[in-house]
Structure 1
Amino acid sequence: MEKFTDREVDRIIEMAWEDRTPFEAIEFQFGLTEKDVIKFMQKHMKPSSFRMWRKRVQGRKTKHQNLRPDDVKTFKSSRQKHISHNSISKR
């Protein structure tokens, strides 16, 4: 049984595709280990898209916290815009 909302599923997939988001960040936010993310992606993607994703992330230093340089200590890029959850966007 799937325990994630559609919005959470979309966010997990988005985080898994992002180069700078380590698997540890996904585990921290959603409780999915790297193996769980792999199974999750296989379940929610077309086979060809899954193969492309696996090829892309295998061995990628930015996807594994322990392979990152010591000076990278955050999940978020320093260039990423700060998002306040208490504000209302205006058009």
Structure 2
Amino acid sequence: MNLPELETEAIDRIVEMAWEDRTPFEAIAVQFGLQEKQVIALMRGEMKPSSFRMWRDRVTSRKSKHLRKRDFIAGRFKSDNQKT
């Protein structure tokens, strides 16, 4: 998968946002222009295989990682570092 050239700080922030339970993939897309598949590819490349599997299992069981699946009010929690 082709990923855009990203600075180290941007990669660190994307990984941090991907680990956060309430930060949806859509917020990462708005802030960094990466779609969910690209975030998954980035995480796979940045993490050890066992850590990636643990993260992937965690993400797939969270409704909060996708805006369409959320059952709580959007905007209920927002990190100061998050644009959306």
TM-score by length of 2: 0.83
- Structure 1: segments with no counterpart, 5+ residues: 84-91
CA distance in 2, matches of 1:2, 1:64: 22
Tell me the C-alpha RMSD between the 2 structures: 2.0
Percent identity between matched residues is 53
**Structure holding more helix per residue:** 2
2:77 — aligned with what?
77
CA distance in 2, matches of 1:65, 1:73: 8
TM-score by length of 1: 0.77
1:2 CA drift (Å): 5.4
Higher Cα radius of gyration? 1
Give the number of aligned pairs. 79
CA distance in 2, matches of 1:28, 1:73: 15
Q: Secondary structure at the match of 2:64?
A: helix
CA distance in 2, matches of 1:60, 1:29: 21
